[in-house]
Amino acid sequence: MSKGNADLLIIHASELVPCAGALTGICGAELERLDVIQDGALAISDGRILAVGPSEDVTRSWQAPRTIDAHGRLVSPGFVDPHSHLLFGGSRHVDYESKITQRQSGKGLAGGIGFTARATRETSDTELTRRALADLDAMLTHGTTTLEAKTGYGVSCREELRLLRLTAGLRHTVDIVPTFLALHVLPEDYVGRRQTWIEEITMALPGAARIARYCDVSCDPACFTFDECLQVGEAARALGMSIRVHADQTGDANGAALAARLAASAADHLDYARPSGLQAMASSGTVATLLPGVTLHLCELTPGVRGGTLGAAEKPFMPMLARSAIDAGAVVALSTDYNPGSCPTVSMQMVMQLAARLFRLSYAEIWNMCTLNAARALDLAEDRGSLEPGKRADVLLWAVPEHGMVINRFGSNFVDTVVAGGQVVVEAGRVVRGETAKGVVQCS
Ligand SMILES: [Zn+2]
């Protein structure tokens, strides 16, 4: 029997984890299932996966001009990171020290989203783009091949639309899904005129809908109410946008139920979500995205909002949060929530490592939540998120041989090689540019 022609073979992986499962997302007891192919292999052609299986089977059926020997290495799907605030100006490291030491900095506590919004406004298009491309390089070398990127630091309609245009204009190997975060925080000059802000945002939606795939709203006691988010969410849906929700981060605003009501693709944070809301999300097929990086970075510093005032945090026992979402039957995903204030990390590996420690999830659950379920959170599960024939060839080769080692160890980058859309784009931990990458990687 003659062999079929592929562009690239990856063979002899010590472990290959396909992370395959239902395209509607992996939930319940199925999350504990993670197939592991010993001495695994992949055949890739035209940016797509042709075959996955034991090396013996794949090499019997396929030949290619280039073969990568993955002996001693784990092979997995590329990560899908379904929640980030990619574009922003400035840094909040001074603010953070003030928070953790409970001291005021020399200039006073110039922190918060308002600080970042000002810094973003003062940063040019060119500089915001340069910073974003550098961050995308870092994400890629840590294994992220698809990223959701939302606006939110404009805090004026004009600025939000500028950030959206810049996001959509980024040219990088990491595939970017742009989101218009319409309702993030109320601008200071709209205090007492909330409805005016809602109306202005609603008027900006047709322009945003031409560029963004998603409209995001913050349903939280510190941000916007169920009814305010419903108004904007329904307007966005009428324009053909899909919905994402920041839900119940600092307290219960019934955000999980709102996400279900809007048939949102995902609701994220959910620290104070009601069980009934999580169950409604399971019924509506809304993915619950958990953000353990935020849990770590803010520790007990996130104030809870009760009765309209900020108080000390009363965090639900963190392992309960993840378990209650799983038990409600929701599809659960994990994400960085990369942003300057509450989670300045680009690393999905860090997220996996924290999910084990803070949420007490198993290795299988964590791998499924960062791959196929994360793709499902972006409505991309049919195209990527697992190593299966027909899917986009986004593949990671690791410097460790077994999938559990990626989570058990922490603090280092264990990704060695990244294949995105069938092209080798990271080798020995470094972004490959020029000829080898066939122009796929845009210089930053
Ligand atoms: Zn966020």
Please give the distance, rounded to the nearest whole angstrom, from the Cα atom of residue 290 to the centre of ligand 1: 11
Q: What is the pLDDT of residue 97?
A: 86
Confidence of residue 126 (pLDDT cuts 50, 70, 90): very high
Please give the distance, rounded to the nearest whole angstrom, from the Cα atom of residue 334 to the centre of ligand 1: 13
Instruction: Please give the single-letter amino acid code of residue 135.
Output: D
Please give the distance, rounded to the nearest whole angstrom, from the Cα atom of residue 82 to the centre of ligand 1: 10
Q: What is the pLDDT of residue 438?
A: 41
CA atoms within 13 A on the CB side of 69: 2
Please give the distance, rounded to the nearest whole angstrom, from the Cα atom of residue 85 to the centre of ligand 1: 6
Please give the distance, rounded to the nearest whole angstrom, from the Cα atom of residue 312 to the centre of ligand 1: 21
Q: Look at residue 26 and give its three-state secondary structure.
A: coil
Q: What is the pLDDT of residue 308?
A: 63
Please give the distance, rounded to the nearest whole angstrom, from the Cα atom of residue 81 to the centre of ligand 1: 12
Please give the distance, rounded to the nearest whole angstrom, from the Cα atom of residue 246 to the centre of ligand 1: 6
User: DSSP string of 2-17?
Assistant: PPEE-SEEEEEEEEE-
pLDDT exceeding 70 applies to what percent of the chain?
Answer: 92
Please give the distance, rounded to the nearest whole angstrom, from the Cα atom of residue 289 to the centre of ligand 1: 11
User: For residue range 159-168, what is the model confidence (pLDDT) as tens digits?
Assistant: 999 999 999 9
Please give the distance, rounded to the nearest whole angstrom, from the Cα atom of residue 84 to the centre of ligand 1: 6
Please give the distance, rounded to the nearest whole angstrom, from the Cα atom of residue 184 to the centre of ligand 1: 9
> Who wins on pLDDT, 198 or 96?
198
> Who wins on pLDDT, 102 or 110?
102
Confidence of residue 107 (pLDDT cuts 50, 70, 90): very low
Q: What is the pLDDT of residue 315?
A: 65
Mean pLDDT, residues 21-31 taken together: 97
d(CA 216, CA 208): 11
Q: What is the pLDDT of residue 182?
A: 84
User: DSSP string of 239-256?
Assistant: TT-EEEEEESSSS--SHH
pLDDT exceeding 90 applies to what percent of the chain?
Answer: 84
Please give the distance, rounded to the nearest whole angstrom, from the Cα atom of residue 432 to the centre of ligand 1: 30
Q: For all residues of the chain together, what is the average pLDDT?
A: 92
Please give the distance, rounded to the nearest whole angstrom, from the Cα atom of residue 275 to the centre of ligand 1: 22
Please give the distance, rounded to the nearest whole angstrom, from the Cα atom of residue 440 to the centre of ligand 1: 29
User: For residue range 139-150, what is the model confidence (pLDDT) as tens digits?
Assistant: 999 999 999 999
User: What angle do the packed helices 194-209 and 226-238 form, to 10 degrees?
Assistant: 20
Mean pLDDT, residues 176-188 taken together: 93
User: For residue range 399-420, what is the model confidence (pLDDT) as tens digits?
Assistant: 999 999 999 999 999 999 999 9
Please give the distance, rounded to the nearest whole angstrom, from the Cα atom of residue 245 to the centre of ligand 1: 9
Please give the distance, rounded to the nearest whole angstrom, from the Cα atom of residue 122 to the centre of ligand 1: 21
Please give the distance, rounded to the nearest whole angstrom, from the Cα atom of residue 220 to the centre of ligand 1: 12
Please give the distance, rounded to the nearest whole angstrom, from the Cα atom of residue 216 to the centre of ligand 1: 9
User: For residue range 376-396, what is the model confidence (pLDDT) as tens digits?
Assistant: 999 999 999 999 999 999 999
pTM, to two decimals: 0.94
Mean pLDDT, residues 102-106 taken together: 60
Please give the distance, rounded to the nearest whole angstrom, from the Cα atom of residue 53 to the centre of ligand 1: 38
* Among the listed residues 422, 438, 435, the one whose alpha carbon sits nearest the alpha carbon of residue 42: 422
* pLDDT of 196 higher than 60: yes
User: For residue range 32-53, what is the model confidence (pLDDT) as tens digits?
Assistant: 999 999 999 999 999 999 999 9
Q: What is the pLDDT of residue 33?
A: 97
Please give the distance, rounded to the nearest whole angstrom, from the Cα atom of residue 431 to the centre of ligand 1: 27
CA torsion 286→157→169→224, rounded to 10°? -20
Helix (H) or strand (E) holding 235: helix 226-238
